[in-house]
Amino acid sequence: MVSFTNLFTAGLVATSALAAPTQIKRTTSSKRGAAYNDISTVSPLSSTGVVSWAYNWAGTLSGSLPSNVEFIPMLWGTRDFGGWLTTIETVLSSGSNYILGFNEPDMASQANMSPSDAANYYLQYITPYSGKAKLISPAVTSSTDAGVGLSWLESFMSSCADCSITGLAVHWYGSTADEFKSFVTQAISTASDYNLSELWITEFALSADANGSADLATTTAFLNEVIPWLDSQAGVTRYSYFMCAENYLLSNDALNEAGEAYTAST
């Protein structure tokens, strides 16, 4: 199913203004992350001790994260090329160890690139930082249409053999936990095809929850099933539920039932 993140484009646009260097520490090996627009919403998740990283679809933090949470910068797409070089140097000097590639370049309403153009841009803007950070591929949708989703990613990887990529990134929106597990298993296999041991799932949720949790009990049941499974998958390095925000994982600035399920120990 095509990702629903286009519904949030306006909210996900972050400025390319430089952020001051921020102390970034890592005290947990948890795979779980926080995908946020408002940086203040990360604290309720991080206070549980299982959320180790966060990102906001941009290269700068737009504030300060809790000290035990690593910020992961993303080069969203062509709109951010102008200030990227200075931005990424600032963030890497603050302690970030990874760089995320473009956001859903297989989708016209998002980064919108052909695999070959994305490979050329990746080589120009992200590959030069190999050795300073681990480089993650563009994040594709879970669409099964021809030329998008994992098939787009395979074409990109074929065009980007010299890009120094260390892991693949994917998104998923669908109807059931079984659908999710099937897609992630396929994505792990795709990563293995390119001798990559890291798979990042930087957005995932039930399609019904794209505009906020439609039913907290259903969302909670989904998370209770998939979170322990994700933690048991050696090929999955990191993941982040969509998203760290009111009526998703939070209610009245505190963890709701779904948020508690997302942050529960496994």
52-80 residue pLDDT tens: 999 999 999 989 999 999 999 999 999 99
Domain for residue 166, yes or no?
yes
Model confidence at 25: pLDDT above 80:
no
Model confidence at 152: pLDDT above 50:
yes
Q: If pLDDT is split at 50, 70 and 90, which confidence band does 28 have?
A: very low
Domain for residue 193, yes or no?
yes
The continuous run of DSSP H or E covering 218 comes out as: helix 216-232
257 closest CA partner among 230, 229, 221, 231: 221
Query: Can you give the CATH number for the domain in which 108 is found?
Result: 3.20.20.80
pLDDT reported for residue 30: 87
CA distance 80 to 99: 14
Nearby residues of 127 by Cβ (< 8 Å), 6 or more positions away:
135, 162, 163, 164
Provide the whole-model pTM: 0.89
Q: How many structural domains are present in the chain?
A: 1
CA distance 74 to 84: 10
Domain for residue 5, yes or no?
no
Model confidence at 93: pLDDT above 90:
yes
- Domain range for 247: 26-263
Domain for residue 18, yes or no?
no
With pLDDT > 90 as the criterion, what percentage of the chain qualifies?
A: 87
Domain for residue 55, yes or no?
yes
Mean pLDDT of 241-250: 98
Model confidence at 221: pLDDT above 60:
yes
Domain for residue 72, yes or no?
yes
Q: If pLDDT is split at 50, 70 and 90, which confidence band does 5 have?
A: very low
Mean pLDDT of 119-134: 98
Mean pLDDT of 189-203: 97
Domain for residue 165, yes or no?
yes
40-51 residue pLDDT tens: 999 999 999 999
pLDDT reported for residue 4: 39
CA distance 168 to 69: 21
pLDDT reported for residue 13: 35
Domain for residue 84, yes or no?
yes
Structure tokens that stand for 76 in this block: 């969203």
